[in-house]
Amino acid sequence: MSHALNYQDPYRVPAGLLALVVHAVFIGLLVLGVRWQSHPPEEFSVELWDSFPVIAPPLEQMPVPAVETPPSVEPKVELPQEKSADIELREKKISKVEPAKPTAKELKERKQAEEQRLLEEYAEKRRQALQETMRAEIAAATSAEVGRYQDMIRSKIRRNIVGIPPNLPADAKAEFKVTVLPGGMVMDVQLVKSSGNRAYDDAAERAIYKAQPLPLPTDVGLQKLFRELRLMIKPQE
């Protein structure tokens, strides 16, 4: 019996500790419950909804809609309209075909044609020069012939002057315009410039009428140059 009293249960101490812990927790809960009942309940509000609100998922969970990339369109550039004349000219230049190089025969023919043209130009210039020379020679011959017949007319008029004043200066001269008919007959005489001596002017005019018919060239063309004469009458040459 003394042995039984001395025996100690190995689980007795832990069990006792566990019972103490359980009792302490229970007492704590009772205290908290009493304190909670002693405080007035906190206010809170309630919102009424016709339907449940839609809660948007987080951004990282929202599906991203696929965006279709539109096809690339090149910008249309409007060029300035060209004038019809410019277009036609450009088309002509494009369609123009370079002529083929001339052959040796064609070159020879061209050379001969050019030489012929130069010969014709030289002949024409030569002809014109000859004509100018001939006209100059004819004019000179005509002038000489007219001068010769004018000298003959003046000489015949001086031979018919009568009553020359004795005090007449040696260089006295009277100028007349004489209209001559075909055949040398005198139609009219006009004093253009006096000699300064009226008696000599009158004597010279009378001598012109006395000298008719005036000597004229036989050539009909030259006779036309003697229809109107300007004669300078001097008492002597």
By the 8 A CB rule, do 158 and 235 touch? Answer: yes
By the 8 A CB rule, do 158 and 236 touch? Answer: yes
CATH of 135-233, one of 3.30.465.10, 1.10.3720.10, 3.30.1150.10, 3.30.2350.10: 3.30.1150.10
pLDDT at position 44: 47
As a whole number of angstroms, the distance between CA 190 and CA 184 comes to 17
By the 8 A CB rule, do 212 and 179 touch? Answer: no
One pLDDT digit (tens) per residue for the chain, 237 residues: 444 444 455 555 566 677 777 777 777 777 666 555 555 555 545 455 555 455 555 545 555 555 555 555 555 555 555 556 666 766 666 555 566 788 999 999 999 999 999 999 999 999 999 999 999 998 898 889 889 999 999 999 999 999 888 888 888 899 999 999 988 999 999 999 999 999 999 999 999 999 999 999 988 888 889 999 999 998 876
pTM of the model: 0.47
Every domain of the chain and the residues it spans:
135-233
By the 8 A CB rule, do 204 and 178 touch? Answer: no
Containing H/E element for 180? strand 174-180
pLDDT at position 163: 83
Q: Are strands 228-233 and 174-180 parallel, antiparallel or unpaired?
A: antiparallel
By the 8 A CB rule, do 208 and 179 touch? Answer: no
As a whole number of angstroms, the distance between CA 147 and CA 11 comes to 189
- Residue holding tokens 């696929």? 66
Task: Give 87-123 as a DSSP string.
Answer: HHHHHHHHH--PPPPPPHHHHHHHHHHHHHHHHHHHH
- Residue holding tokens 């809660």? 55
**Is the bond leading into 213 cis (omega within 30 degrees of zero)?**
yes
Q: Which residues contact 185 (CB under 8 A, 6 or more apart)?
A: 212, 213, 214
pLDDT at position 152: 94
Q: Look at the alpha carbons of 132, 137, 143, 145 in this order and tell me if their dihedral is positive or negative.
A: negative
For 173, which DSSP code? Answer: -
CA separation (Å) from 31 to 23, 112, 203? 12, 145, 189
Both structure tokens of 129: 């020069």
Which residue, 227, 230, 205, is CA-closest to 216? 227
